[in-house]
Structure 1
Amino acid sequence: MHRCGGLSELAEANAEVQQICDEMKVHAEQKAGTTFEIFAAKSYKTQVVAGRNYFIKVHVGDEECIHLRVYKKLPCYGGDLELSDLQYPKAHQDSIEYF
């Protein structure tokens, strides 16, 4: 468990996180100005806010990754997902930090 506002420990991506990435792929491609043949979630951290921020490392091909910050609204506000920001390009060894 992590304190409110702080980032959680790094965790391996699961089906829920991959589903978030699948929904955000087109938005990430628009923001990065490129298309990604591979878009596989590798690991993530979360941050509890008025909802939840997901900081996700996504493999996008070769040695490149992209870091996504996705905001998930509280269920009472619809539970929608929003791509808040991204960092590209990133390497596999780059750690996920707040951005």
Structure 2
Amino acid sequence: MATKVITGGLSETKPATPEIQKIVDEVKPQFEEKTKEKYDCFHAVTFRSQTVAGAMYYVKVHLGNDRYAHLKIYEPLPHTNEPVELSDYQIGKSKDDEVN
């Protein structure tokens, strides 16, 4: 049975895909600028998505060792030609924290 996506509703948590990793890679410089730190490890683990005027992604990112961050990333609709934007983030997360 297909998962029904409700506009504005948050999807279930899913394993990160190569497409999500690409989006995470695009906002890495924004994240490093905001946290004033460089990250050798920056791997998307899981994500949830929300359909808005574009897409909002809530992504758990492994920063190395036992360090995780939750990123809120906005991807505008393609025709706008706007860049992907890091809307918000939370650091100090654990591997077991639910991304939301």
Q: Same fold (TM over 0.5)?
A: yes
Give the structure 2 partner of residue 96 of structure 1. Answer: 99
* Unaligned residue ranges in structure 2 (runs of 5+): none
Counterpart of 1:45, as a letter, is R
Equivalent of 1:67, from 56, 66, 70?
70
What is the distance in 2 between the residues matched to 1:9 and 1:42? 14
Whole-angstrom distance in 1 between the partners of 2:99 and 2:32: 20
Deviations 1:10-49 (Å, cap 9, x if unpaired)?
1100110011111111111111121111001100000011
Aligned to 2:5: 2
Quote the sequence identity (%): 38
What is the SS of the residue equivalent to 1:93? coil
Displacement of 1:2 in angstroms is 2.5
Q: How does 1:17-32 map to 2 (within 5 A)?
A: 17-32=20-35
After TM superposition, what 4+ stretches of structure 1 lie above 4 angstroms from structure 2? none
Give me the CA root mean square deviation: 1.0
1:52 maps to 55
Matched residue type, 1:11:
K
Q: What's the TM-score, normalizing by structure 1?
A: 0.92
Report the TM-score, using the length of structure 2 for normalisation: 0.91
Q: Deviations over 1:52-87 (max 9, x none)?
A: 001000000111111111100011211521111111
Name the larger-Rg structure. 2
Structure 1: 5+ residue runs without aligned partners?
Answer: none
